[in-house]
Chain A
Amino acid sequence: MKPRGYYSWHLCRLLLGSVFVYAGLLKGLDLEAFAGQVAAYKLLPYQSNFIVAAVLPYIELIVGLHLIFNRLVRASALVVAGLCGTFLVLLSSLLIRGIDIDCGCFGPHDSSTPLQAIVRNLLLLTMAHFIFHLRNHYSPSSADESGND
Chain B
Amino acid sequence: MSPLHFDYSNLRQVLLQSVVIVCFGIGVGLMFNFPMLMKIMKEGAPKGERIVSATVAPRSPRTVVLEEVEQLQGKTLRIDARIPELYAEGHLPGAVSLPYAEVDGLLDSFKARVAKDESMIIYCSGYGCPDSFDLSLLLLAEGYQDVGVFEGGYPQWRDAGKPIETDLP
Task: Give A contacts to B, CB under 8 Å.
Answer: 3, 5, 31-33, 35-37, 39-40, 42, 45-47, 49-51, 54-63, 66, 72, 74-76, 78-79, 82, 99-102, 108-109, 111, 132-137, 143, 149
- Give the tally of cross-chain contacts (CB within 8 A): 125
Confirm or deny: B160 has a beta carbon within 8 angstroms of a beta carbon on chain A.
no
Given known A31-B36, A63-B21, contact A108–B58 (CB-CB < 8 A): yes
- Chain B's interface size range is 35 or more
Interchain CB contact under 8 A, A79 and B21:
yes
Contact with A along B152-166 (1 / 0, CB 8 A): 000000000000000
Question: What separation, in Å, do the CA atoms of A133 and B55 have in the docked complex?
Answer: 43
Q: Of A32, A54, A75, A133, which contacts B56 at CB under 8 A?
A: A32
What secondary structure prevails in chain B residues at the interface with A?
helix
Interface positions of B from 6 to 22, Cβ below 8 Å from A: 6-7, 9-10, 14-15, 17-18, 20-22
Residues in B lying within 8 Å of A, measured CB to CB = 1-2, 4-7, 9-10, 14-15, 17-18, 20-22, 24-26, 28-30, 32-33, 36-37, 40-41, 44-45, 49, 52-53, 55-58, 116, 141, 143
Flag if B21 contacts A46 (CB, 8 Å): no
Given the known interface contacts A46-B45, A54-B33, the answer about A137 and B7 at a Cβ–Cβ threshold of 8 Å is yes
By beta carbon, the residue of chain A nearest B141 is A40
Q: Which residues of A contact B30 (CB under 8 A)?
A: 51, 54-55
